[in-house]
Structure 1
């Protein structure tokens, strides 16, 4: 899930960057192309403008000089969108002249719209012309001295600019859309196949944690191969530490067992001596305490092993058969209902010891019936782990709240007539805690005591 989230984040981030970059690039290219189209259009208008300025400055001595020819038929077509105008502004002896296309209309003044003169002495910009046409116009003031001053304007239909830009934007958008699709598909390919080794490593680690594998197997890319090697080295080091801990626990048990045996033998040789009896009593206490703490050390070493998993149903079925044989003289019935898919994240002897203590206590206190239920609870969310809930009920007299709190303490027994050392439930509590689990005592629906053991599952 985490790898999937990482891949999704990388894909979304890469896609967002691709979209942003292409969008900005498209805006820039569209702006550049529009500016280039306007400059080309302005050069055309300026060519006509210079021709008109030359006509005004040096009019030909011919009868039709009032209508200069610019070599563009659109200037002759009424309201074609292409117009020119020569307007006297001061001291001119001639009247205003205009292209036939302007008909009886007049062009607006860029000067009135606040357009400033450029360094070359002209004004240029967009205006609304006759018939609400959008025009691109250049305007130039001309001073002919004694002949007066004129304002010469040339305008062309800006539709050409807009259509050129729109066509360019259309093809640019289509090209960038295709490019975006290619880039997105490339990103998907890179993210999916580029992160595939990490996903494979994650699955392999999950298999190790769940007990389906012991090491990271297979080949990995050179970039993450050192990580896989370090992970395997860590697993090997963990196993080596556990093995050393087991060895030390065994050595300690052997070292303590011999002196205790000597003390017990010496005390037994003294017969009914009160001192010998006291030594034997304390030796039994010492043996129980040593057994308890050595067991805790052994379990603590075992639970650090990665990947140990036990099928619960077969282990408890064998345990039930054993308990029925032990308590067959009392006619105790033991019913087991276990989820076949239930798995314990730990070693078999540990769950046998915990559940065995609970079932043994239930059989001691039951009137005739003991039930064992095993449930698997999925935690959901990002963590796929589950909880294993084992419930042991008996139909005995049950326990009060005070008694339930008392029996969980080490060495506490409510009935000295029952066999045992009083360490059973405290051992269960300690071992469950080492596995991150818990033991809860309550009233059973069938009348006696309910012991509910929660342990890590798979």
Structure 2
């Protein structure tokens, strides 16, 4: 069994629908107009025959039970054979009392139906002729009432010719209109779908590397799609860059434990190897590798519909810090409304954990997390009561592998990693001084 396969194309589908629906609509329109015009023509014929019947009635005279009609009537066609207009007068029994000269040679049959006295009847007889009959009661001098039926008949040639001409012009005009509508719709579809074609070309340009994102001017209906595509592409680029940075961080982080192990092995080959020291460095390397792989495998591709509450995450990190820094921990406070972060919870924990850990590591034991919203941004400030960061070191410490001091242990890559995560979400990190605690203030600015 053959099945009609519709092309999976908007142009083809809309064109096919138009080709199917437009003839149907035009056909129904033509049928309605044809019926209306046909009824209008019939009404015109009725009015014309009614007038001619009144002409016959006005010209007739009756006396002594005899009907008399003048030799010539006001309508000349009654006197012209073959004119197509006929006049008849019959009595109550249907016997023809008078017929016009135009009926000579024409086969006219008496009408089978008669109207009521004083009433008229219009229709088409068995021979296809239009007729109009009027039944009158004629009172003569003696007071006797005689019944006459005045009838006017007309061939349908004029009616059919007018209807045929109208149908020709109607169907020709509607066919031309249909072709024009199809052409106009094709142009409208081409113009209306042009933004999609432009978007396809822009995507092809992105595949060839000529552009990095969809930068065209698109209609409002397509803008959510282009926005999400750009966000997805930007996130994918951020993830690739994040993988590269992770590999660089991993190589950088392994240098120190490898150097310690090499030094231990090569210092004195005759001396027994410090197994405990080597085990510490191996454990450290394993932790670094697990950390970097976990960071690289975290949800770096932003999940558009996932939202994570900030306050519970910050409070959990604060409880952990109380155990990590039992000697330096004095207070931890989360201030502000509980707002949500659009992204993965592990990324939020990585960012907050890094900054809160630095606050306890370099501060005097007090850390505050302030959650605010501003326009379409989520602001998270992590403040401590430490010495703060000098202005000249503000940008320097955000670079990979750079630290502001050499006292606390670390690899100097935490803040740069944090900034990499922020960039994948379109956020930024600013550094200032806390007005309440007097130490450093790191502000995470994230889109809501």
TM-score (norm 1): 0.49
Query: Cα gap change, 1:250/1:265 in structure 2, threshold over 3 Å: closer, same or farther?
Result: same
Structure 1 pair 110–228 and aligned structure 2 pair: CA distance change class (3 A):
farther
Structure 2 residue corresponding to 1:71, chosen from 60, 69, 74: 74
Judged with a 3 Å threshold, the aligned counterparts in structure 2 of structure 1 residues 3 and 297 are, in CA distance, closer, same or farther, namely farther
1-structure distance, mates of 2:295, 2:19: 54
Q: Which residue of 2 aligns with 1:99?
A: 100
The residue matched to 2:47 in structure 1 has which SS?
A: helix
Please state if 1:137 is matched with 2:131. Answer: yes
Counterpart contact for 1:245–1:301, Cα < 8 Å: no
179-188 or 163-172, larger mean C-alpha shift: 179-188
In the aligned structure 2, how far is the partner of 1:254 from the partner of 1:208?
33
1:161 to partner: Cα distance: 0.7
From 171, 177, 194, give the equivalent of 1:179: 177
Aligned length: 290
Alpha-carbon separation, structure 2, partners of 1:95 and 1:108:
7
Contact 1:52 1:68 in 2 (8 A): no
Q: Deviations over 1:380-400 (max 9, x none)?
A: xxxxxxxxxxxxxxxxxxxxx
Q: CA deviation at 1:299?
A: 9.2
CA contact (8 A) 1:46 1:138 kept: yes
Q: Deviations over 1:315-337 (max 9, x none)?
A: xxxxxxxxxxxxxxxxxxxxxxx
1:96 is paired with a residue of what secondary structure? strand
Aligned-partner Cα distance in 1 for 2:197–2:7: 6
Displacement, 1:159? 1.2
* Whole-angstrom distance in 2 between the partners of 1:52 and 1:171: 37
The change in CA–CA distance for 1:221 and 1:143 in structure 2 (over 3 A counts) is: same
Is the 1:110–1:125 contact (alpha carbons within 8 Å) kept by the matching residues of 2? no
Deviations 1:201-247 (CA, angstroms, capped at 9, x unpaired): 02222442465542224445677567645643543344234434544
Counterpart CA distance in 2 for 1:274 and 1:258 is 18
Q: 1:3 to 1:157 in 2, by over 3 A?
A: closer
In 2: Cα distance, 1:302 partner to 1:174 partner = 65
1:307-456 paired onto structure 2 within 5 Å: none
2:46 aligns with one of 10, 31, 42: 42
Question: Does residue 19 in structure 1 map to residue 23 in structure 2?
Answer: yes
Say what the alpha-carbon RMSD is for the aligned residues.
4.9
User: Are the counterparts in 2 of residues 128 and 135 from structure 1 also a CA contact under 8 Å?
Assistant: yes
Structure 2, unaligned runs of 5 or more: 1-5, 303-448
Counterpart Cα distance in 2 of 1:232 and 1:122: 81
User: 2:84 is paired with a residue of what secondary structure?
Assistant: coil
Indicate the structure whose relative CO is greater, using CA pairs within 8 Å and at least 6 residues apart.
1
CA distance in structure 2 between the aligned counterparts of 1:289 and 1:255, rounded to whole angstroms? 10
- Distance in 2 of aligned mates of 1:183 and 1:99: 53
1:386 alignment counterpart = none
Contact 2:86 2:103 in 1 (8 A): yes
| Structure-1 separation of matches of 2:297 and 2:207 | 18
Aligned-partner Cα distance in 2 for 1:71–1:259: 128
**2:154 is aligned with 1:150:** no
1:364 aligns with: none
Q: Distance in 2 between the 1:228 and 1:73 partners?
A: 80
Deviation at 1:171, TM superposition (A): 1.6
Deviation at 1:169, TM superposition (A): 1.5
* 1:240 lines up with 2:242 in the alignment: no
SS of the residue aligned with 1:199? helix
User: How far did residue 151 of structure 1 move?
Assistant: 2.6
Select 1:109's aligned residue among 108, 111, 115: 111
Q: TM-score, normalised by structure 2?
A: 0.50
On the 8 A contact 1:86/1:98 being kept in 2, the answer is yes
1:155 positional shift: 0.8
Give the equivalent residue in structure 1 for 2:62.
Answer: 59
CA distance in 2 between counterparts of 1:35 and 1:95 reads: 31
Ranges in structure 1 where 5+ consecutive residues have no aligned partner: 305-458
Counterpart for residue 391 of structure 1: none
Is the 1:110–1:123 Cα contact (8 Å) retained in structure 2? no
Are the counterparts in 2 of residues 242 and 302 from structure 1 also a CA contact under 8 Å? no
The residue aligned with 1:453 is none
